[in-house]
Amino acid sequence: MPQSTSLTELYEQLRQKHRFSRPQSELRVAVNDYFAKWTDEIYDGDSVVFITPVAGG
């Protein structure tokens, strides 16, 4: 990935490659164990997690 890749761009690339069905608007994203904004850039070595909606109590 180019160094200036945003989380939105990463998700879109992965969505197309792996045919993810869930739209980005239904997800949260975390980078290196912290919630992040979709517009944040990622860097080499970052850990990125896409979080689906959950319910619980």
Residue 2, pLDDT score: 62
Cβ contact 40:31 at 8 Å:
yes
DSSP string, 1-57: --TT-BHHHHHHHHHHHHT--S-GGG-EEEETTEEE-TT-B--TT--EEEE------
Side by side, the strands of the sheet bearing 48-51 are 34-36, 28-31, 48-51
pLDDT in tens, 1-56: 666 788 999 999 999 999 999 999 999 999 999 999 998 888 889 999 999 988 76
Q: What's the whole-model pTM score?
A: 0.80
